[in-house]
Amino acid sequence: MPTAIDVFAKVRGHERAEQLRAAREADLLPYFRRLEGPAGPVVEMEGAERIMLGSNNYLGLTADPRVQAAARDALDKYGTGLTGSRLLNGTLDLHLQLEAELAEWMGTEEAIVFSTGHQANVGTLGTILAPGDTVIVDSADHASILDGCLISKAKLRPFKHNRLDRLEKMLQRAVDDGGGVLVVVDGVFSMEGDIAPLERIVELCQAYGARLMVDEAHGAGVLGARGAGASELLGVEDQVDLRMGTFSKSLASCGGFIAGPHEVIDFLRISSRAFLFTASGVPAAVGAALAALRIIRSPEGPELLKRVLDNGEYLSQGLDALGFRVVRGEPAVTPIVPVLVEDDWKAVLLWRALYDAGVYVNVAIHPAVQPGGALLRTSVMATHDRAVLDRALEAFKDVKAKFEAEHGPLPEPAS
C-alpha cells in the first residue's frame, strides 16, 4: 500500500547542512557559544574572558543592583512563575504598573505587555490584520513582523530596505486591494543599525490613508531625549499609530509591549491569541523591566542614553580608522556598529579570529542579510569604558593584519 512522504525528509540534506557540518568540524560555528557569567561589557565565555561586543544590553542595566533587587523582590513575593495566562490567573499589580508606565513613556493612551517581544509582533499583527487587508513591510524588518503578517493571511507587499520610492509604489497598489492598509517598519534596523526615515514614511502613510506601526525594539531605551525611540527622535510620535518595544534590550529583561490607542489595546487584550493563550511573563522578568524603565525615566536616564551613543560613535570611528568598512547608522548613530565583510566564510573566519583574540561579536550571513552582504554586527553598552573599547580595537587591528595576509583583503572603508 502507498505510504506517506516522511515529513522529516526536509531536515536531511538541506541547503545549509554541508556548511553546518564543515563549520562544526572546524569549530567555526559562531552560534550557540556558552556564556558562563553575567552579560556585562566583559564576559566569561567558554573558559576565557572576552570583550562583549555582541549584546543588546545597551544600557548595561542587567547588572544594576536596583534591577536585580526588583527581580529578587518579585521572585520572593510571587514565586518563580504564574502558571497561567494574563486572562486567567496571570495578572499581577506589576503587570498593570508596567503597562501604565510604558504608556506614559511612549506618550500613548495605553500599553499591553506580552511574554516575549516576538509574541508582541506576532500577536498584534496576527490579530489586527485579516484576509482582505494589505500589510506593507520593509525587507529588513524583524522576522517576528513577517511571522505576524503571514499568520494574518493579509496581502503582503514588501519593499526594498528604506527605498521610499518602492514604499510609495506599494501604497499605490494597496489602494486597489480593497482592504485596510498597514505599514510596518523597524525604527532601528537590527542588523544595519540605521534608522527608518519616519518623517517621510508618515507623510506617505497619511497621503494614502494607511496606518503605521513602528517596531522600536532597538530604538526604545536608546534614542530620543527620554529614550522613547526613533519616533521620538524624529518628532513623529503623535503620527505613529502603534509602537512595539521589547524588554530584552535596554530594559534588561525579557518580554515585549505594544503601545497605542485604547481601542486597539483593548481589542488585543480580548482577541490576541499570543496574549490569551500563553503563560504570563514570570514575576522576576516583569519586576526587572519595571525597575529598568524607571531608571531610564529618572534623571539618570539622559546620561545613560548619551553614554551608549557616544560609545557607538567611538567604536564606529575607531573601526573606520583601522580600515574596516563600517556601515554607518543614518541619520544618527546607534549602538549597532556593523562591519561589512561580504563573503559568508570570510565573516565566519574573521569572527573566529576575533573570538580567539578575546572579542565576541555577532555574525550575520544570508539569509539574515542579502547575499554578498555578510557582516560582523558589533554593538556597545553604556557600561563599556574607553579602556575596554581600546582593547577591542587593538584586537581588531591585530586580527585584520593577520587575516588579510592569509585570506585576502577585506572591504575598504567607503569613500
Q: Evaluate whether 103 touches 111 at the Cβ level (below 8 Å).
A: yes
Our answer to whether residue 407 is catalytic in this structure is no
The answer to whether residues 95 and 286 touch, using CB atoms and an 8 Å cutoff, is: yes
Residue type, 117: G
Give DSSP secondary structure letters for 118-187.
Answer: HHHHHHHHHHH--BTBEEEEETTS-HHHHHHHHHHTPEEEEE-TT-HHHHHHHHHHHHTT-S-EEEEEES
Q: Which residues contact 404 (CB under 8 A, 6 or more apart)?
A: 410
Taking the C-alpha atoms of residue 111 and residue 102, their distance in angstroms, rounded to an integer, is 6
DSSP 241: S
Measure the CA–CA gap between 210 and 177, rounded to whole angstroms.
Answer: 12
Whether residue 190 lies in the annotated active site: yes
Choose, from 118, 155, 218, 400, the residue flagged as catalytic.
Answer: 218
Q: If you search the block for the grid coordinates 572579542, which residue do you land on?
A: 359
**Among 95, 118, 249, 384, the one annotated catalytic:** 249
Q: Select which of 55, 115, 144, 190 is catalytic.
A: 190
298 - beta bridge partners? none
Task: Tell which phi-psi region holds residue 381, choosing left (phi > 0), alpha (psi between -120 and 50) or beta.
Answer: beta
- Find the helix or strand (DSSP H, E) in which 202 lies: helix 198-208
Number of other residues whose CB lies within 10 A of the CB of residue 77: 12
Contact of 125 with 152, CB cutoff 8 Å: yes
Decide if 298 is catalytic.
no
- Directed axis angle between helix 143-152 and helix 117-128, to 10°? 30
> In the sheet where 336-342 sits, what is the strand order?
42-45, 48-53, 359-364, 374-379, 336-342, 325-326
Q: Hey, which residues are catalytic here?
A: 190, 218, 249
